[in-house]
Structure 1
Amino acid sequence: MTVSFHTELYKLIPEDHQLRKIHEVIDFSFIHELVCSSYCEYYRRPANEPELLFRLLFLQILYNPSDERMIQEAQVNLAYKWFLGLNPEDPLPDPSQLSRFRNHRLGAGAVDEVLKAVVRQCIEKGLVKSKTIIMDSTHTLAASQKQKPLEVLRDAAKRLFRVVVKKHPKLEKKLPRLPELKKDQEDAEKVMLHYLAELGQTVETLLPDHEGSISEKIRIAKAIVEDERLLAQKGILSAIDPDARFGWKSSTKSFFGYKEHIAMTEEEMITAVIVTGGSSDDGKQFKELLNQSLATGIEVDEIIADTAYSGKDNLAEMKSKGIRPVVPLNPVVHNGGLRQEGFEYNKDADFVICPAGEHSTRKAVQGSKKSGESRSLVFYFDTEKCKTCPLREGCLKPGAKSKTYSIRIVAEHFKEQIEFENSNTFKERIRRRPIIEHKNAELKRFHGMTKAKYRGLFRMRIQAILTAFVVNVKRMVKLKEQMQPAS
């Protein structure tokens, strides 16, 4: 930046302004190395462009405006201009550059490293002393509404047809026409499913070297056609956002969107974020959350989490690494015996979900109370739905009056953990778990994680990780202030 006489205006920014504190505590220059591979070194570009754009994204998540609004606000806000390293009279990039930088520079593999960078800076400054990781998940509503199967199929077909005709008008007559469906036509969904498959195959034949938006629409069409659970209204529920999924917050409350699985230190520094569809199992993300946290250079000797993370594989992983599991056991989660593929237990709703997406209607314990090895938890499904399920073959026996899924309770395998769970140490340490719920509330209430800003798992992941970066920086400022002696 070439200093101009207008920089005198920056003296009007208070010394205790939030952006001044952030500028002092975090070094943003790490972004140059992270995104250098996505730039061509043989063409000129402003040396500060990556950092400037990254700082703009930071401001956008911190204060939550849209791309266009962010540029408009930054153009007239002295504190923003100072934070960006610009003179008051300097112009700002076009809003479209924010999207390109977010998706093509950071999204091209650097976004995970962004979170690691801030955690490492925090460690270097001595702000992280705890060796405890707390894990939990939260959810974000999709940017689009869920649809019925026929709507999903029709929208996907229209969007593919439209983009092909827009880019290649001469191909319009060669594409199969959208079928005219009668009102309440019984096989309407199957007709539309066949049409979408035919349309996708035709486009790939006519445009074997397709790319860009056409490739994206073909990808979505293929995913919908190949989704066995679509017609049962349990698979893809949106042609606009096919990665979003139907999930449960409790036995009566559901949502349509995504899950963010989070690991955090006791100092409230987020060390790892994994984004999945809303139907995913929390416990299955444990190992990756732990590995991501360890990759930041943080030491872990204790993990605090809820029952969703108490699977025997997770407990074994912690034991192998010498980590103390402050995780309440659940006989449903840490079970023994064989598991039927595709069935998953949802700890929030306390029911089992079958491969078709239907959940059990009731449960019962069978076996002798005196023998833990022989007891089972049995979940019952609605057989009327099973009889019409597209996945019933091999699942529902012909003539069966009920469909059940049993889990054998093997408490003996977890005797050591059960004894620890009854100790005063466990009871004291588990009280620390709610602090991660406060962090989840901060992400939603102040930084736009209640609802997705963009569509698709790829963009949702970028949003979640950048948001975690921002709240980490805010936390660094507070931790730094707490370290300073009172005047």
Structure 2
Amino acid sequence: MLQPSKQMTASFHAELYKLIPEDHPLRKINEIVDFTFIHDLVRSSYCEHYGRPANEPELLFRLLFLQVLYNLSDERIIQETQVNLAYKWFLGVNPEDNLPDPSQLSRFRNHRLGAGAVDEVLISVVRQCIEKGLVKSKTIIMDSTHTLAASQKQKPLEVLRDAAKRLFRVVVKKHPKLEKKLPKLPGLRKEDQEDAEKIMLQYLANLGETVELLLPDHEGSISEKVRIAKAIVEDERLLANKGIMSAIDPDARFGWKSNTKSFFGYKEHIAMTEEEIITAVEVTEGSSDDGKQFKELLNQTLDAGIEVHEVIADTAYSGKDNLEEMKSKQIQPVVPLNPIVHNGGLRQEGFEYNKDADFVICPAGQHSIRKAVQGSKQSGNSRSLVFYFDTEKCKACPLKEGCFKPGAKSKTYSIRIVA
């Protein structure tokens, strides 16, 4: 049950809050940002009149804010706040008051807020910053950074086995009587790895279909495990070690920081003002193209009320469509032109140029191994940058049909460079 926001009651111990310096960062943040907007944001996820009284959304949200600000875990932020006067003052509680259990932070973050609320939180905070005069520039900076996945990369057989075990376990835990009706995990032989993967793939597909048949109205953790199982079964690149690589974190992918350094996880695409106030965030898999997030970042920024006259970004954002979008909105681009990103001709669907690594990635996840320029400057004709792929990998590729001709000595991908 959602309760109205409570005020801090008078307490003898509240006198201790006078020890917090007036220039403390949390005092400044509290003065500028009104966090009461969170009540309206999460109201629909609470029952307003029935059930046990819930902890205040604003209290939990402020705890999440402190957690991110000081980079603390759920357990650690509760421990630190219990003995930190500034933290408790920021929460609006008395020094002697108890704090929520750490598990409530996870429930609030996942079930009350959810990933979809991030944009609304940003918009609310940015608009307050504008009203308080903190945003004076009309320039937006765009870039991306990477975040490592919370799980380790797995081989296809490990992904399939873990997904099957997790689905089987959660169904049996909630519906013990169904255990005998679920297909049993097959015994796999080590000597035939390829067949073992295919057997496990078939088992996972069969298990998922059985669960949906027995529990057509499944929800919660069962629905999540079923969704993951479906995604793994339908991933054409799985057995080629280029698709889903974790049953725990199926959305994580390999990305590249350079042509020799890779990472397994996600990309965080960010737009921010010159005052370093973040106005938009998009999280994608690690292999995604930075430039494709431009329009969404720009639109989120404009929706927050920021007046944009100039955009500063690197060459990944120099595509023609992005430049045309800025021109249509009378925004000055400060973006170095990359001839491959900006002037490249028609692109074959599924192939993407990675600016950081300077290679092309095919739909199967393989990257080119070398490149060469074809055409002459003197002739006046357009030149092409040709990227070459490893044909041995192409021969065994699950997506080779229509892409790699049997018996071909090479597999190339060309990008036209207009002179």
Structure 1 length normalisation: TM-score?
Answer: 0.81
Query: CA–CA distance in 2 between the matches of 1:264 and 1:402?
Result: 44
Aligned 1:171-320 pairs, distance under 5 A: 171-185=178-192, 186-320=194-328
Q: Give me the identity figure in percent.
A: 87
Which residue of 2 is the match for residue 164 of structure 1? 171
Is the deviation greater in 64-73 or in 310-319? Answer: 64-73
Q: What secondary structure, in the 3-state scheme, does the structure 2 residue paired with 1:24 have?
A: helix
Partners of 1:192 and 1:114 lie apart in 2 by 42
Q: How do 1:22-171 and structure 2 match up within 5 A? A: 22-43=29-50, 49-107=56-114, 109-171=116-178
Do the aligned partners of 1:346 and 1:352 also contact (CA within 8 Å) in 2?
Answer: yes
Number of residue pairs matched? 411
Larger displacement relative to structure 2 (100-109 or 276-285):
100-109
Could you tell me how far 1:190 is from its partner in structure 2? 0.9
Question: Separation in 2 of the partners of 1:283 and 1:70?
Answer: 36
State the alpha-carbon separation in 2 of the partners of residues 173 and 337 from structure 1. Answer: 58
CA shift for structure 1 position 64: 2.1
Contact 2:55 2:100 in 1 (8 A): no
C-alpha distance in 1, partners of 2:136/2:284? 30
Deviations 1:397-445 (A, max 9, x none): 122111110111125xxxxxxxxxxxxxxxxxxxxxxxxxxxxxxxxxx
Q: How does 1:312-391 map to 2 (within 5 A)?
A: 312-370=320-378, 373-391=381-399
Contact 2:32/2:129 (CA < 8 Å) preserved in 1?
no
Inter-partner Cα distance in structure 2 for 1:9 and 1:128: 34
Q: CA deviation at 1:47?
A: 9.6
Q: Which of 387, 390, 406 is equivalent to 1:398?
A: 406
Consecutive unaligned residues in structure 2, runs of 5 or more: 1-7
- Contact kept, 8 Å, 1:235 with 1:357, in 2: the verdict is yes
User: Cα offset for 1:43?
Assistant: 3.7
Q: Cα deviation per residue 1:120-178 (whole Å; 9 max; x = unaligned)?
A: 11111222121111110000000000001111011111111111111122222221111
Deviation per CA, 1:358-409: give whole Å up to 9, x if none: 0001111111213565211111101111001010010011221111101111
Whether the 8 Å contact between 1:373 and 1:408 is mirrored in structure 2 is: no
- Deviation string 1:331-376 (CA, Å, 9 cap, x unpaired) is 1111343211100000000000000000001111111213565211
Q: CA deviation at 1:109?
A: 3.5
CA pair 195-372 structure 1, distance change in 2 beyond 3 A: farther
Paired residue for 2:5?
A: none
In the other structure, the counterpart of 1:17 is 24
Distance 1:206 1:391, change over 3 A: same
The Cα of 1:44 is off from its aligned counterpart by: 7.9
One-letter amino acid of the structure 2 residue matched with residue 333 of structure 1: V
- Higher RCO (CA-CA < 8 Å; seq separation 6+): 1
Gap change, CA 1:7 and 1:263, over 3 Å in 2:
same
* Pairing of 1:402-417 with structure 2 (within 5 A): 402-411=410-419
Please report the TM-score for the alignment, with normalisation by the length of structure 2. 0.94
Tell me if the contact between 1:373 and 1:409 (Cα under 8 Å) persists in the aligned partners. Answer: no
Aligned-residue CA RMSD (Å): 1.7
* Cα distance in structure 1, aligned partners of 2:346 and 2:78: 56
CA distance in 2, matches of 1:350, 1:202: 45
Q: Secondary structure at the match of 1:42?
A: coil
Alignment-mate amino acid for residue 195 of structure 1: Y
| Secondary structure at 1:275 match in 2 | strand
Residue range with higher mean Cα deviation, 88-97 or 401-410: 88-97
Amino acid at match of 1:246: F
Residue type at the aligned position of 1:290? L
Distance apart, 1:22 and its partner CA: 2.1
Return the offset for 1:80: 1.6
| Rounded Cα–Cα distance in structure 2 between residues aligned with 1:323 and 1:72 | 47
What is the alpha-carbon distance in structure 2 between the residues aligned to residue 372 and residue 76 of structure 1? 73
> In 2, distance between residues paired with 1:290 and 1:108?
19
Q: Equivalent residue of 1:332, what SS? A: helix
- In 1, the alpha carbon distance for the partners of 2:328 and 2:342 equals 17
Contact 1:13 / 1:79 at 8 angstroms: preserved in 2? yes
> Does the residue aligned with 1:380 lie in a helix, a strand or coil?
strand
CA contact (8 A) 1:248 1:255 kept: yes
